[in-house]
A and B are shown apart, each in its own frame.
Chain A
Amino acid sequence: MNHLDTLESQSIYILREAFNRLDRVALLWSLGKDSNVLLWMVRKAFFGHVPFPVVHIDTGKKFREMYEFRDRYAKEWNLNLLVGDCPPVEEMDPTLPPAARSAARKTAGLKAMVARHQFSGLIAGIRRDEEGTRAKERVFSPRGEQNDWDVRDQPPEFWDQFKTDFAPGTHIRVHPLLHWTEMDVWEYVRRESIPVVDLYFAKNGKRYRSLGDQDITFPIDSTAATLDEIIEELHSTKISERSGRAMDHESEDAFERLRAAGYL
């Protein structure tokens, strides 16, 4: 098997473990490239079916192209789409820097969604190579009753025996893409012809490398207008993938605090 086959097979194994071991599971669909890849592999894992709800936590501030993409493929792929609202920014922790505070709305919306549907497992498309604290993650990562993440005391995880036993009231975040890199994702998108939001492709010398809320996400300088060009660009760049995501860079620990509190 080649590299992408190996990655795909491992991710499918993880998705099937999540579906089998967890009672009420949902997939978080941010509409970005990673969660699209994830959704694609769900359909592979379950032979064309998506056997659990697909959740979009909507800050109300996404790009128009993202909403269009969501509505089109929710219908085309026959998804059980649940859209969750987020509380206003005024209700968020006032000690957070502005962009992180804005992003914290998403965590609050997610918590409300988990509470409403009593999900015991949330599948998310985060990757180790994206960002420092995500590098610490487990594939099956327990969350406390407050959705909190105790990075200092994580369960051991080996031999693909994941943590599937947990106290009532807690839930598990499942990360089937943890072992992928940004390059892997784009190569897989190309190989499988997976649809992605148009904003990733350069227009007028700019493209988005990572998609978030309109007001705290910025495009990079790029002329990569096709999948081949994006992959070519990634070979040479030394700029980080999330450089256009304001909340990562406001202060040393802003993103860590967001994640410890339950952010993806």
Chain B
Amino acid sequence: MPITSTAPRRSSTQSPVRIVIVGHVDHGKSSLIGRLFYDTNSLPDGKFESVRRACDARGVRFEWAFLLDALMAERDQGITIDTTQMWFKTELRDYVIIDAPGHREFIKNMITGAASADAALLVVDADEGMQEQTRTHGYLLHLFGVRQIAVVVNKMDKVGFSEARFQEVAASVTSYLWSLGLDSEHVPVIPICAREGDNIASPSTSMPWYTGSTVVDALDSFPRPVGGEDLPLRLPVQDVYKFDDRRIIAGRLQSGHLRTGDTILFSPSNKQARVNSIEGWNADGPIIAARAGQSIGITLDQQIFVERGEVISHSANPPMLSKVFRGRLFWFGSEPMTVGRHYKMKINTAEHMVTVEAIERVINVADLSGSDADKVERNEIAEVVLRSRALMSLDDFSEDPRAGRFVLVDNFDTVGGGLVSTDGYADARSSVAIKSTNITRVAHRVSLEQRWVSNGHKSGIIWLTGLSGSGKSTLGFALEQFLHAKGYQVFVLDGDNVRHGLCADLGFSPEDRAENIRRVGEMAHVFANAGVLVITAFISPYRSDRRRVREIAGNLFHEIHVKADLATCEQRDPKGLYRRARQGEIENFTGVSAPYEEPLQPELLVDTTNHQPEESLQALIGYVEANFGARSLGDLLSARESLRAAS
């Protein structure tokens, strides 16, 4: 190294702790780093003296930041824009400082550093208090998963070492961190004066009222980052090798433990196999177990087709499967993110093309408020809904911080990074699993068209979706009565009715709702294939569930949005359910405590807020007659008539 002594010379069985120092520009990050080096004896010999002499010669007051500048200048040979790494050591252990410049433009480099940090020091000027970058950096630390934070209130000399001012600044930072969801009670807040070395490595004599830890103590008391060993097994498949007679599945254990003989589950393919061996090279004897952090290779007891991107877990604690999730992301693309745009998403070792289905809110880091927006601009943080065509293996960030994060790529560039939230979305695993084996489909000898011709109308599914109280059941039963009188083969599947029988085992969680809709969809499909016009009356609040029925039933599926605004439904409240939901007696009640996702392109929209029930019914009848009535049979019917004539 040309410059500093800062590379670790201590041989260590433990990795250095990676520290990122962030905060608003000019709040004293560089001074703090310079002082930390000095107070921990981590500076190269003579460096301090030479900088001091240079200051004296030029008649300027010595600043600790000069020391850092001098180190950086030598190290960087003129290039100063980036995260660099500098080592220092305390009596306890080694640290690497990942320098994070405070200027707004450098945020791309800052997150490169912050995302790999084990802990952070957030520097705040005692006089100026929290500023824009204090909040942004605090938010980004949170977003990028740095949970061990110490707040350093610097330049206490500027406020006369006032305890009252310190408490004021400390309270505002603590409450901000708390509102981010950090356990801010356990975040140390340390009053320092970096220039004089107060509370850096030794307690300050100017602030006898402060009895907490010094910066060095606070660093040393951060627990070592845990390696994810206590979390359920996640082993993303990185590659499959066939260099010799072994077929080795390679990857790094992100969390948990794996042993030979374990039964493992692959997601999203939902295949299972047993671990035959854990392979190694130059290893002492056979390997029987592996744990979080290890790069390994395994062979299986059977030849199943798996590829990069699948996530290996145990079947007891699998990731969730879904085509849609909510992401909280930081955007640094030069083009704004907009609804409908496609991006390549990388998550673990998988890649998916995703579409931005919705931008739910753009977050203002100053007060954490959200606002509606139709695009996300560079350096903004937003909550968005992302959808892919294929099922994705997903872990919620709050449950598994390593697995639950993703990046987005546009063309050749990484344009954003974010965290996965699966909250409110259903696990689609049950839908991909055909549990019975040795089954084959058998063809009917009576075609659907033959059934239509003999009934005199087409069959299909009139899928009524809408809030509770929007009028689905009322309309559905009225439509059934009318059509029956006209000679239709027609039947209503109603939400409350099936929950007494077919779906009596299901509740109202997102998973149970999804399964309820799946069963109803399958049953409606059978009815429709039997020639019956099926009318369903289910809230069916999730797009993904309705989409799945469309996948099951194809062209037979007709989505009808029975639309009434929440206030109207709540006013009608035919079963008194809204009242009970508002009182907290009913959980997961759509519109109150669970989402309703409106159809984006329903075949028909029936507005029951602004129209009388009779008008709504006529609209439905008109739709049915046009799409299912005798005339819609057209050529099929004339074929029957010509058959009749012939006989």
Q: Closest approach, in angstroms, between the C-beta of A87 and any C-beta of chain B?
A: 27
- Which of B111-119, B204-212, B475-483 forms part of the interface with chain A? B111-119
**How many B residues touch the partner, as a band?**
35 or more
> Across the interface, do B243 and A156 meet the contact criterion of CB distance under 8 Å?
no
Chain A residues near B163 (CB-CB < 8 A): none
> Across the interface, do B15 and A163 meet the contact criterion of CB distance under 8 Å?
no
Assembly CA distance A101 to B407 (angstroms): 41
Contacting B at CB under 8 A, from A114-159, are 128-133, 135-136, 138, 151-152, 154-159
Q: Closest approach, in angstroms, between the C-beta of A252 and any C-beta of chain B?
A: 6
> Across the interface, do B7 and A51 meet the contact criterion of CB distance under 8 Å?
no
- Which of A5-13, A62-70, A195-203, A218-226 forms part of the interface with chain B? A5-13
Assembly CA distance A208 to B409 (angstroms): 44
> Across the interface, do B79 and A236 meet the contact criterion of CB distance under 8 Å?
no
Chain A residues near B76 (CB-CB < 8 A): 132-133, 135-136
> Across the interface, do B115 and A16 meet the contact criterion of CB distance under 8 Å?
no
> Across the interface, do B281 and A3 meet the contact criterion of CB distance under 8 Å?
no
Please tell me if A24 contacts chain B, counting CB pairs below 8 Å. Answer: no
Chain B residues near A231 (CB-CB < 8 A): 11
Known A-B contacts A2-B13, A9-B252, A238-B45; the reply to A255 vs B77 at CB < 8 A is: yes
Please tell me if A23 contacts chain B, counting CB pairs below 8 Å. Answer: no
- Which of A29-37, A41-49, A89-97, A104-112 forms part of the interface with chain B? A41-49
Please tell me if A80 contacts chain B, counting CB pairs below 8 Å. Answer: no
- Which of B80-88, B129-137, B460-468, B535-543 forms part of the interface with chain A? B80-88
How many residues of chain A are within 8 Å of chain B by beta carbon?
Answer: 65
Q: Nearest residue in B to A135 (C-beta to C-beta)?
A: B84
Please tell me if A73 contacts chain B, counting CB pairs below 8 Å. Answer: no
- Which of B175-183, B292-300, B356-364 forms part of the interface with chain A? B292-300
User: A240's contact among B1, B9, B279, by CB below 8 Å, is which?
Assistant: B1
> Across the interface, do B75 and A135 meet the contact criterion of CB distance under 8 Å?
yes
Q: Nearest residue in B to A186 (C-beta to C-beta)?
A: B11
> Across the interface, do B238 and A158 meet the contact criterion of CB distance under 8 Å?
no
Q: Which of A17, A165, A166, A234 is most buried by chain B, counting CB atoms within 10 A of its CB?
A: A165
Contacting B at CB under 8 A, from A144-198, are 151-152, 154-159, 161, 163, 165-167, 181-183, 187, 192
> Across the interface, do A6 and B293 meet the contact criterion of CB distance under 8 Å?
yes
Chain A residues near B269 (CB-CB < 8 A): none
Q: Nearest residue in A to B75 (C-beta to C-beta)?
A: A132
Chain A residues near B281 (CB-CB < 8 A): 43-44, 47-48
Assembly CA distance A158 to B416 (angstroms): 11
> Across the interface, do B8 and A181 meet the contact criterion of CB distance under 8 Å?
yes
Chain B 488-500 against A: per-residue CB contact (8 Å), 1 yes, 0 no? 0000000000000
Chain B 405-446 against A: per-residue CB contact (8 Å), 1 yes, 0 no? 101010111100100000000000000000000000000000
Assembly CA distance A9 to B405 (angstroms): 21
Assembly CA distance A192 to B297 (angstroms): 20
Please tell me if B246 contacts chain A, counting CB pairs below 8 Å. Answer: yes
> Across the interface, do A9 and B294 meet the contact criterion of CB distance under 8 Å?
yes
Chain A residues near B1 (CB-CB < 8 A): 129-131, 240-242
> Across the interface, do A156 and B111 meet the contact criterion of CB distance under 8 Å?
yes
Q: Closest approach, in angstroms, between the C-beta of B375 and any C-beta of chain A?
A: 20
> Across the interface, do B5 and A253 meet the contact criterion of CB distance under 8 Å?
no
Please tell me if A235 contacts chain B, counting CB pairs below 8 Å. Answer: yes
> Across the interface, do B2 and A155 meet the contact criterion of CB distance under 8 Å?
no
Please tell me if B344 contacts chain A, counting CB pairs below 8 Å. Answer: yes
Please tell me if B564 contacts chain A, counting CB pairs below 8 Å. Answer: no
Known A-B contacts A13-B252, A165-B412; the reply to A158 vs B112 at CB < 8 A is: yes
> Across the interface, do A235 and B9 meet the contact criterion of CB distance under 8 Å?
yes
Please tell me if B142 contacts chain A, counting CB pairs below 8 Å. Answer: no
Please tell me if B108 contacts chain A, counting CB pairs below 8 Å. Answer: yes
Q: Is the interface of B mostly helix, strand, loop or mixed?
A: loop
Chain B residues near A151 (CB-CB < 8 A): 79, 81-82
User: A156's contact among B85, B227, B238, B332, by CB below 8 Å, is which?
Assistant: B332
Please tell me if B308 contacts chain A, counting CB pairs below 8 Å. Answer: yes
Tell me the number of A-to-B contacts counted with CB atoms below 8 Å: 162
User: A47's contact among B8, B44, B248, B291, by CB below 8 Å, is which?
Assistant: B248
Chain A residues near B79 (CB-CB < 8 A): 132-133, 136, 151-152, 256
Please tell me if A58 contacts chain B, counting CB pairs below 8 Å. Answer: no
User: A152's contact among B2, B81, B87, B308, by CB below 8 Å, is which?
Assistant: B81
Known A-B contacts A48-B281, A131-B1; the reply to A13 vs B295 at CB < 8 A is: yes
> Across the interface, do A256 and B144 meet the contact criterion of CB distance under 8 Å?
no
User: B2's contact among A12, A235, A240, by CB below 8 Å, is which?
Assistant: A240
> Across the interface, do B414 and A163 meet the contact criterion of CB distance under 8 Å?
yes
> Across the interface, do B2 and A46 meet the contact criterion of CB distance under 8 Å?
no
Assembly CA distance A43 to B11 (angstroms): 25
Assembly CA distance A138 to B108 (angstroms): 13
Assembly CA distance A253 to B409 (angstroms): 34
Assembly CA distance A45 to B11 (angstroms): 25
> Across the interface, do B12 and A3 meet the contact criterion of CB distance under 8 Å?
yes
Q: Nearest residue in A to B81 (C-beta to C-beta)?
A: A152
Please tell me if B14 contacts chain A, counting CB pairs below 8 Å. Answer: yes
Assembly CA distance A158 to B405 (angstroms): 11
Chain B residues near A248 (CB-CB < 8 A): 2
Known A-B contacts A158-B144, A183-B8; the reply to A3 vs B344 at CB < 8 A is: no
Chain A residues near B332 (CB-CB < 8 A): 156
> Across the interface, do B241 and A132 meet the contact criterion of CB distance under 8 Å?
no
Chain B residues near A155 (CB-CB < 8 A): 413-414
Q: Which of B3, B144, B252, B280 is most buried by chain A, counting CB atoms within 10 A of its CB?
A: B252
Known A-B contacts A9-B295, A181-B7; the reply to A156 vs B108 at CB < 8 A is: yes
Q: Nearest residue in A to B240 (C-beta to C-beta)?
A: A20
> Across the interface, do A238 and B5 meet the contact criterion of CB distance under 8 Å?
yes
> Across the interface, do B412 and A167 meet the contact criterion of CB distance under 8 Å?
yes
Q: Closest approach, in angstroms, between the C-beta of B80 and any C-beta of chain A?
A: 10
User: A238's contact among B44, B87, B248, B413, by CB below 8 Å, is which?
Assistant: B44
Assembly CA distance A204 to B405 (angstroms): 56
Chain B residues near A10 (CB-CB < 8 A): 295
Please tell me if B74 contacts chain A, counting CB pairs below 8 Å. Answer: yes
> Across the interface, do A132 and B2 meet the contact criterion of CB distance under 8 Å?
yes
Known A-B contacts A156-B111, A158-B115; the reply to A133 vs B248 at CB < 8 A is: no
> Across the interface, do B9 and A183 meet the contact criterion of CB distance under 8 Å?
yes
Chain B residues near A159 (CB-CB < 8 A): 115, 405, 407, 417
Known A-B contacts A9-B295, A238-B5; the reply to A166 vs B15 at CB < 8 A is: no
Chain A residues near B11 (CB-CB < 8 A): 183, 187, 231, 235
Known A-B contacts A2-B13, A242-B2; the reply to A47 vs B279 at CB < 8 A is: yes
Chain A residues near B44 (CB-CB < 8 A): 238
Assembly CA distance A156 to B410 (angstroms): 13
> Across the interface, do B77 and A16 meet the contact criterion of CB distance under 8 Å?
no
Q: Nearest residue in B to A231 (C-beta to C-beta)?
A: B11
Chain B residues near A130 (CB-CB < 8 A): 1
> Across the interface, do A154 and B295 meet the contact criterion of CB distance under 8 Å?
no
Q: Nearest residue in B to A255 (C-beta to C-beta)?
A: B77
Q: Which of A6, A49, A129 is most buried by chain B, counting CB atoms within 10 A of its CB?
A: A129
Please tell me if B642 contacts chain A, counting CB pairs below 8 Å. Answer: no
Chain A residues near B413 (CB-CB < 8 A): 155, 165
Q: Closest approach, in angstroms, between the C-beta of A196 and any C-beta of chain B?
A: 17
Q: Nearest residue in B to A193 (C-beta to C-beta)?
A: B282
Chain B residues near A2 (CB-CB < 8 A): 13-14
Given pairs A47-B246, A158-B115, 14 additional interface contacts (CB within 8 A): A1-B293, A1-B294, A2-B14, A13-B295, A17-B238, A47-B297, A48-B281, A129-B1, A135-B84, A157-B414, A159-B417, A181-B8, A236-B9, A256-B79
Q: Which 6 A-B pairs have the closest CB atoms?
A: A158-B115, A12-B295, A132-B75, A240-B1, A49-B243, A9-B295
Residues of A at the B interface (CB closer than 8 Å) are: 1-3, 5-10, 12-13, 16-17, 19-20, 43-49, 51, 128-133, 135-136, 138, 151-152, 154-159, 161, 163, 165-167, 181-183, 187, 192, 231, 234-238, 240-242, 248-249, 252-253, 255-256
A sample of 25 cross-chain residue pairs with beta-carbon separation below 8 angstroms, ordered by A number, consists of A2-B13, A3-B12, A3-B13, A8-B295, A9-B293, A9-B295, A10-B295, A13-B252, A13-B295, A16-B295, A47-B248, A47-B279, A132-B74, A136-B84, A138-B112, A151-B82, A152-B81, A154-B82, A161-B407, A165-B409, A165-B413, A167-B412, A238-B44, A238-B45, A248-B2
